[in-house]
Amino acid sequence: MLKATSSEKFDMQTQHSTNSRPHEDSEYIILHFGTKPHEIDAKTLLESLGAIEIALMGISRQGHPETKFRIKVQPFQKGSFEIPIEVKQMIMATGLSLMSPDWANAKESVKILLELIKLKLDLKGKEPKVVRRNGNIVEIEKNSRCTFKIDQRTYNISVKDPTVGEAIVKGFKALEADTEVKSFTVLDRKREKLLDVPRRAFGYISKAKKEPVENEPKSTERLELPIFKAVLDKSKGHKWEFYYRGIKKISAAIADEAFLDRVNNGERFGRGDTLDADLEIAKEFDVNLGVLVNRSYKVLRVYTIQRREEQTLFPSS
């Protein structure tokens, strides 16, 4: 088994070329792997460092996609397996690029990464019970006795950027797979702990995020749905287009098997026909608006069909 030792110098860089460096900043942290003194499996090291790199790159590019990013690994400390790394990023300061509320400098990117890991650690692989927005802070309620606060940018990334979350999962899967790693700790330049994860908690963080299908908020309405487009191709999941409350065009799957049998038997429908139906609406929390918004629609049951006298018929196949 290939091992990396504390007496070796390890240098890993990811750099994207640029002709100018108008804005540059950096952050210094120390990664401590709780292993035998002086050694760690090289595969574990490379996979965990690579995951950190991908996650930090994704975070730093939230507010400006042209951010240039680099991680430099310093000489290992003697006597224990600690890896000092310098996180550096550069950005082209054009127009309002530095004014984006989602942009984070190197120090903030590291802080957001650690908050994302702590969030998964605190939730222990479960979804939050309640999420509330208070200015730039998001309050997450795990249960009636446990509430904690995180930066709004951290929450936005946790729900909208799967690349960052997948990188964190991959990194901790590598640590979990190596039975010699007993803990993972991040220290600042003054050697104060920023993050401390014992081995027993690796599983909470390495658990991939599940889509909140079963527990997402849903509501059902009985209403009239004027047909805009009937999608008769089975491969497209019978997602028809309707006017919702007369003003918004929506796409909704059809779950009523009896109604689908009528469609499959050749019954024709035209634009302007209206379904009297139960519509299920799945909702999600929009942290920027601070409210639940409609995410997807499904027609559960069709009661009747109101025909328009003059209509444009959709083909039956």
> For the residues 127-143, what does the mean pLDDT come to?
78
Q: How confident is the model at residue 291 (pLDDT cuts 50, 70, 90)?
A: low
CB 217 within 8 Å of CB 293: no
What mean pLDDT is reported for the chain? 77
Among left, alpha and beta (phi > 0; psi -120 to 50; other), residue 25 is: beta
pTM: predicted TM-score of the whole model, two decimal places: 0.59
- What are the start and end residues of each CATH 2.40.50 domain in the chain? 218-313
Q: Tell me the C-alpha distance between 311 and 104, whole Å.
A: 54
Q: What is the pLDDT of residues 58-70, one digit of tens each?
A: 887 776 666 666 7
Identify the bridge partners of residue 218 per DSSP, sorted by sequence position: 282
- DSSP annotation of 273 reads B
Per the model's pLDDT, the better-predicted residue between 146 and 100 turns out to be: 146
Per the model's pLDDT, the better-predicted residue between 51 and 98 turns out to be: 51
Alpha carbon distances (Å) from 241 to 170, 228, 282: 39, 5, 16
Q: Tell me the C-alpha distance between 256 and 263, whole Å.
A: 11
Per the model's pLDDT, the better-predicted residue between 314 and 137 turns out to be: 137
Q: Tell me the C-alpha distance between 303 and 255, whole Å.
A: 13
Identify the bridge partners of residue 40 per DSSP, sorted by sequence position: 4
Q: Of 186, 306, 298, 198, nearest to 252 (Cα)? A: 298
218-313 folds as OB fold (Dihydrolipoamide Acetyltransferase, E2P) (2.40.50)
Q: What is the pLDDT of residues 205-250, one digit of tens each?
A: 988 665 444 456 788 889 999 988 887 666 555 688 898 887 778 8
Reported in sequence order, the residue ranges of the chain that DSSP labels E, i.e. its strands, are 3-5, 23-33, 39-41, 68-73, 82-91, 130-134, 137-143, 146-151, 183-187, 193-198, 218-229, 239-244, 248-254, 270-271, 274-286, 291-306, 312-313
Q: What is the pLDDT of residues 152-166, one digit of tens each?
A: 888 888 877 788 888
